[in-house]
Structure 1
Amino acid sequence: MRSVTTAPPLPAYDVRLAGVAEVAGICEVCSEGFAESSRGLLPPATIEQQAAAYYAPDRVLREVLSAGEDPRWQGYVVAVTAAGRVLGAAGGGVAPHGLGQVYVLYLDPALRGRGVGTALLDFVTAQQRSVDASEQWVSVTDGNRMGIPFYLARGFVVRDRVPFTTTDGRPTGAHSLRMSRPV
């Protein structure tokens, strides 16, 4: 007899701008998502250093509190249950000349393929359209088996391949794919 594994039920959730109550959940889901998607692509020390730099609670709190003050950072968006569990988080902004940028999009890996990532991306895209973005860009580590297919399936096209450097500018030996689509 074959056993069949089923995914856990997808809890009901809302997608909205993050508040202070979601800071810890954002840090957790983004740190874990970054580590999972970067495993085997970046050195473990680099993964740890990047996650600590980008998803430190004090930094995420500042970014939650400053949401919308400047179109270049429109704030964290969360998929969150009624009980306050953060299932995923995303964030982006719009640079001059209508160039939208998705800076971050991670979710609980157990929820992949269930629409949470698409809902987050759709919210960020709507934010960017509201300030007249005409293009949307994202950087994904070359070889990322989660991110690259996700973005390709949503109309992004690889435009460039650039060296992946750490937050302090050190080369890692890895590369990032720059991908874009019209919005």
Structure 2
Amino acid sequence: MHAVEVRPAVSAEAAAISQLLALVIRDSYTEILEKRAVERLVSTNCSLPRISAELGIPGGAPSWLGWLVATDADGQIVGAAAGGVPGPGQGELYTLCAAPNRRRDGIGSALLSVLTERMRDHDAKGQSVSLPAEPDPSMPFYTAHGFAGAGRRLSREI
């Protein structure tokens, strides 16, 4: 494992986050979803204007806690996460990813830990995530962190 720093993302990192998300989606889902579905995920989730706008929103509102990035010793973004507390007591993971060449390095766990603390600070007692596919390649990560559920929707108490 290589150490990473998890911190709030800044506006100048929008393009890097967008590129990382697109890379992760294509790497994760090309073998299990149709090409059109993969590109729809990329278009929806990796839109540079959307990510830029989201980075401009302060991460202090419960429904939107902002973007986090994980950076390596060289300052390169190797992971990203976003979430919020859209309903009373319930946190929602909107995005959580690690660069394909850095999976199993603890990046996802580090991002999840920081995002979970932010959610707890806004009175979240539980956390949920909706996965793009069933079965989803990220399922082992989430179940190892105590998430459970049927289909593409997983939850856990925090």
Mapping of 1:52-63 within 5 angstroms? 52-63=43-54
* Equivalent residue, structure 2, for 1:68: 59
**Which has the higher Rg, Structure 1 or Structure 2?**
1
Give the counterpart of 2:134 among 142, 145, 155: 142
Aligned-partner Cα distance in 1 for 2:127–2:79: 20
Unaligned runs of 5+ in 1: 1-8, 162-176
1:53 deviates by: 2.2
Instruction: Please tell me whether residue 49 in structure 1 is matched to residue 40 in structure 2.
Output: yes
* Equivalent residue, structure 1, for 2:119: 128
CA contact (8 A) 2:80 2:95 kept: yes
Partner amino acid, structure 2, of 1:68: G
Q: TM-score when scaled to structure 2?
A: 0.92
Give the counterpart of 1:154 among 125, 131, 145: 145
Instruction: Please tell me whether residue 178 in structure 1 is matched to residue 153 in structure 2.
Output: yes
SS in 2 for 1:157: coil
Mapping of 1:91-102 within 5 angstroms? 91-102=82-93
1:41 deviates by: 2.4
Go from structure 1 to structure 2 and tell me whether the alpha carbon gap of 1:84 and 1:52 turns closer, same or farther (over 3 Å shift): farther
RMSD: 1.5
* Equivalent residue, structure 2, for 1:172: none
Structure with the higher strand share, 1 or 2: 1
Mapping of 1:19-58 within 5 angstroms? 19-58=10-49
1:16 deviates by: 0.6
SS in 2 for 1:102: strand
Unaligned runs of 5+ in 2: none
Q: TM-score when scaled to structure 1?
A: 0.80
